[in-house]
Amino acid sequence: MSAAQSDLALKQLRGSSGTNTPRHLAAPGSSLDAILTESDKPLIAVDMDDNPGWGTPDETFRKVEEFYATDYLDKALPVEGAKEGLQKLRDLGFRMVVVTARQRRELDRSMRWLETHFSGVFEDMICTGQSQETLAEKSEVLTKLSKADVCLKLKAKVLIDDSLENALKCALHPQPTPVLLFGNNAWNQRESKYGDMKEELSFEERLKKEGGREFWKEENVKIPEGVPLTRVTDWTGVVQWVEAALQGGKL
Render pLDDT for 196-223 as a digit per residue (tens, 0 to 9).
444 455 667 777 888 888 766 666 677 7
Residue 39 confidence (pLDDT): 83
Cα-based angle 53, 238, 43 (whole degrees, multiple of 5) = 95
Give the count of beta carbons closer than 10 Å to the beta carbon of residue 39.
Answer: 13
Going along the chain, which residue ranges are E strands? Answer: 9-12, 43-46, 95-100, 122-127, 134-135, 141-142, 158-161, 179-182, 229-232
| Rg, Å, the chain Cα set | 18
pLDDT(13) > 80: no
pLDDT-derived band at 225, boundaries 50, 70, 90: confident
Q: Which residue from 183, 189, 181 is spatially nearest to 81, judged by alpha carbons?
A: 183
Residues, the chain, total? 251
pLDDT tens string 41-79: 999 999 987 555 556 667 777 877 888 888 888 898 999
Distances (CA, A) of 39 to 4, 19, 70, 154: 22, 10, 37, 12
Find the CATH number of the domain harbouring 43. Answer: 3.40.50.1000
How is residue 190 annotated by DSSP?
A: B
Q: How confident is the model at residue 181 (pLDDT cuts 50, 70, 90)?
A: very high
Q: How far is 127 from 147, CA to CA, in rounded Å?
A: 10
**% of the chain residues with pLDDT over 90:** 35
Q: Please provide the average confidence, as pLDDT, over all residues in the chain.
A: 76
Q: Closest Cα to residue 29, out of 7, 49, 62?
A: 7
Q: Which range of residues forms the domain containing residue 144?
A: 3-247
Beta bridge partners of residue 100, listed in sequence order: 127
Q: What would the mean pLDDT of 179-188 be, rounded to a whole number?
A: 86
Give CA 32 to chain center in angstroms: 16
Number of domains in the chain: 1
Residue range 168-177, pLDDT digits in tens: 999 999 999 9
Alpha carbon distance 185, 216 (integer Å): 13
3-class SS of residue 231: strand
- Asked if residues 160 and 212 have their Cβ atoms less than 8 Å apart, the reply is no
Give the lowest-confidence range in 25-34, 142-151, 156-165, 176-185: 25-34
